[in-house]
Copies of this chain bind each other. A is one copy, B any other.
Amino acid sequence: MKRPTIADIARRAGVSKGAVSYALNGQPGVSDTTRKRILAIAQEIGFNANSAARALSGARARAVGLTLCRPARILGIEPWFMGLISGFEAELGAQSYALTLQVVATPEQEVEVYRRWWGERRIDGVIVTDLRENDLRIPVLHQLQLPAVVIGGSGEESPVTQIWSDDGGAITEAVRYLVALGHSRIARVSGVPDLLHTQVRTKAFNEVCASLGLSDAITVPADYTGEEGSRATRRLLIGGDRPTAIIYDNDVMAVAGLAVAQEMGLSVPGDLSIVAWDDSPLCSLVHPPLTALSRDVSGYGAQAARELLNAIDGKKVGNVKAQTAHLTPRGSTAPPRT
């Protein structure tokens, strides 16, 4: 049960390997009748071009890489990555590019994986997530000349293409909404402070709160996990002057915060309003359903994949701004009880 090669097709069609190659790739050099005959034979014997051979003769590997650098326990539960991945796939699958995945523990390992993949010619490009300040991956990507697209940058000038969204604008909208409802003590539980988009959000949050005269608007740093989300929420709620609204940097922490409030006997949204960043089915799953900053994560992923394919094709692409997250009000926000 040997897998067929173009030589098999050539033999059956009575032509040379080269002719078969031209026929299969839609290149000129064979007549229409011959081409049809060859395609029919290929179809019949279930031919698929050996990707290794193709990659070896100068062509692409037709695969892109993605590394996930978060602890497994949070990876599993956060809908964000899977949304992103299904977006990539939608685009990559259409061009029959494969997606190669690697879970890593540290950014250093991540860099190692990039080096290895690229050295092995296993991939044509990578998608980079969770950009940090002075990210050590960027100079390596640049040095390797490895086509890449960064997700979640700040939109500033960068040697690597970025797909970014206006997180500052989104959080400003959320704060204004809460203030319009009558809230004046608004807190925030953030994601990992090292991440660039966390910093963008923190800055915008501080600015809008200052401009609206909210003096005690504080941000408690956390790490996207439920445990940290609970801890941060408890810290915020045990104080005497507890906030009447909390904005969370992801859905998982928001759900954890909701549970803490319920556990402490606080009513949501009566005693506490909750806003989650990044809408997902998780937000509509709980009671009350969470008001969220929604965006089309999967579309975001598809856009990133599209830009990466462009970069691989040598088209120089600049930073791309994706849709800004918009507020989806649900049951977890209301005017504060007086």
Contacts and interface: CB of A to CB of B under 8 A. Distances in A.
Nearest to A225: B281
Interface of A: 1, 3, 46-56, 61, 63, 72-77, 79-83, 85-86, 89-90, 93, 96, 98-103, 115-122, 144-145, 225-227, 230, 252, 255-256, 258-260, 262-263, 280-282, 284-287, 289, 297-298
Contact of A284 (B47, B96, B226, B282): B226
A51 B287 contact: no
Contacts of A61: 52
A121 B286 contact: no
Chain A to chain B: the 4 pairs with minimum beta-carbon distance, closest first:
A48-B119, A76-B79, A259-B287, A76-B82
Given A52-B121, A77-B82, A230-B285, 17 more contacts: A1-B144, A1-B145, A46-B115, A48-B115, A48-B120, A51-B52, A72-B82, A72-B86, A74-B281, A76-B83, A93-B103, A96-B116, A99-B101, A226-B282, A252-B281, A252-B285, A258-B287
B100 A100 contact: yes
A77 B79 contact: yes
Nearest to A257: B285
Contacts of A50: 56, 120-121
Contact of A55 (B49, B52, B98, B285): B52
Contacts of A56: 50, 52-53, 56
A113 to B, nearest CB: 9
Given A82-B82, A103-B93, A263 B285 contact: no
Nearest to A255: B285
A121 B76 contact: no
20 contacts: A1-B145, A46-B119, A47-B119, A48-B116, A50-B56, A51-B121, A52-B54, A53-B56, A72-B83, A75-B86, A76-B297, A77-B79, A77-B280, A77-B281, A85-B101, A98-B117, A100-B101, A226-B284, A227-B281, A262-B287
A53 to B, nearest CB: 5
Contacts of A282: 77, 226, 255, 282
A56 B53 CA distance: 6
A3 B102 contact: no
Contacts of A230: 285
Which of A80, A82, A298 is the most central at the interface, judged by chain B CB atoms within 10 Å of its CB?
A82
Nearest to A73: B281
Nearest to A87: B72
A44 to B, nearest CB: 14
Nearest to A72: B86
A285 B298 contact: no
A51 B101 CA distance: 16
A308 to B, nearest CB: 15
Contacts of A145: 1
